[in-house]
Amino acid sequence: MVVAVASTTSSLRPATATAAATDAITGLDLAVLALLAHVWLLVVGLAVWNDDAQTGLDWLDRRVDLDPRLYAVAMGVATLLTWLPFALGRYPVGPGNPFGRSRTALGVIVAGGLLVGTGCYLLAGAGTNVRSYLAVRRSRPVEADGVEAESGPVRVEGEVTPIEGTLEAPVSGTEAVQYRLDATRVVEDERLPMESPTGDADQGTKTGFADLGSLLVDHTERVDERRVPFAVRDETGRIAVDPEGATVRLERSASVPVPADATPPEPLATRLLGTDADPEADDAAIYHESVLEPGDEVTVVGVARDGATITDAPSMPEFVVAPGRDRAVDRHFRRTIAGCAFGATVTGVIGLWLLFGLAGHGWWLF
């Protein structure tokens, strides 16, 4: 999901140079909140309508995926936090504007609101990762031949093996039991890398083109995702896994740049025919592939059902498929939670500092 927050406040409440902040919520404040609520509805509605949209930040997109309800809650909290400093203080118009220009003050409000929204998004992302991490740590580790149907939440580690066939990865063409395909629409061909970037499982794809400007104008979205049942094999045997409904954490493994009006190479061009994406779109694009291949080490947390097949269940708080074994999975979650918490703290504090300072509470705050 793309991070956005309703943060435009154009209401006018003149303040004299000696006006003090008040704790009373006025009718004007409620009108401003109603205006922001409409913007919040627009933002959430766009997110629900285009639920394949991504932030464009590789590290974040691989680790945070909020469902529409949680996204709406996070953006609702951000909207309230954007409005509250001005409801308890003053609006930056007339003598209350420290910059003297309305456009500058509006720009600071928007920047502060976006930072607060980013902080709320990251905080929600940390929460979802904590939930997955707890599901992994609280599950019962078992060997593949020890899994029994209706045995409750279990955790199995081992090597991915196909059951009834594999998929063809859209960029690399390798065999896979699951793949994701993302596309970053690049406004200018000059920002396309000259060669297809590659990466490893720990670092992700090294694109070399994503600077601040590209993040603001380029657009990343999920183009396709496919998965087939597979098995996890360890020293004792193997157990089938039905990955439908699972939270699968994949690292980008390959990318390919496609200039504007060019035909993508095979097998990517064939894969795009079965999606809503236009393989000959006017914009240049970089297609990113994330795969789970036969032979990869994986940890699966789920419920054994239907003849000792690990799958999802209504009683299971989280169905997780994560590359790597115990220590690698533990490290992945700890780093993700710490990174999201740190990012939420930094962006949230800076955003609130801007908003409270502009509302007359003092720039020294915090």
Residue 190 lies inside a defined structural domain of this protein = yes
Q: What is the pLDDT of residue 365?
A: 52
Task: Tell me: do 345 and 306 sit in the same domain.
Answer: no
Task: Tell me: do 300 and 159 sit in the same domain.
Answer: yes
Structure tokens at 122: 């990251």
Q: What is the pLDDT of residue 10?
A: 38
Task: Tell me: do 123 and 151 sit in the same domain.
Answer: no
Residue 205 lies inside a defined structural domain of this protein = yes
Give the residue numbers spanning the domain of 202. Answer: 144-324
Residue 179 lies inside a defined structural domain of this protein = yes
CA atoms within 13 A on the CB side of 361: 17
CB 153 within 8 A of CB 316: yes
Task: Tell me: do 265 and 193 sit in the same domain.
Answer: yes
Q: What is the pLDDT of residue 95?
A: 64
Q: What is the pLDDT of residue 348?
A: 96
Residue 17 lies inside a defined structural domain of this protein = no
Residue 11 lies inside a defined structural domain of this protein = no
Task: Tell me: do 86 and 210 sit in the same domain.
Answer: no
- Which pLDDT tens digit goes with each residue over 217-249? 467 888 899 999 999 999 888 899 988 888 888
Q: What is the pLDDT of residue 53?
A: 67
Residue 258 lies inside a defined structural domain of this protein = yes
Domain count, the chain: 2
- Which pLDDT tens digit goes with each residue over 89-146? 888 876 656 666 677 888 888 999 999 999 999 999 999 999 889 888 888 888 888 7
Q: Kindly state the average pLDDT of the residues 270-294.
A: 80
Task: Tell me: do 356 and 319 sit in the same domain.
Answer: no
Task: Tell me: do 311 and 345 sit in the same domain.
Answer: no
Residue 332 lies inside a defined structural domain of this protein = no
Task: Tell me: do 197 and 173 sit in the same domain.
Answer: yes
Which residue in 104, 76, 92 sits closest to 6, CA to CA?
A: 76
Question: Structure pTM?
Answer: 0.74
Q: Is the pLDDT of residue 4 over 60?
A: no
Task: Tell me: do 130 and 149 sit in the same domain.
Answer: no
CB 304 within 8 A of CB 154: yes
| More reliable by pLDDT, 120 or 186 | 120
Angle of helix 27-49 relative to helix 68-88, nearest 10 degrees, comes to 160
User: Looking at 185-199, 251-265, 278-292, 302-316, which range is the least confident one?
Assistant: 185-199
pLDDT grade for 363, boundaries at 50, 70 and 90: low
Q: Is the pLDDT of residue 204 over 60?
A: no
User: Looking at 160-164, 175-179, 284-288, 296-300, which range is the least confident one?
Assistant: 284-288
Residue 40 lies inside a defined structural domain of this protein = yes
Task: Tell me: do 164 and 130 sit in the same domain.
Answer: no
Q: Is the pLDDT of residue 17 over 90?
A: no
- Residue 321, sorted as left (phi over 0), alpha (psi -120 to 50) or beta, turns out to be beta
DSSP state letters, 85-147 = HHHHS--SSGGG-TTS-HHHHHHHHHHHHHHHHHHHHHHHHHHHHHHHHHHHHHSEE--GGG-
Task: Tell me: do 159 and 269 sit in the same domain.
Answer: yes
Task: Tell me: do 126 and 151 sit in the same domain.
Answer: no
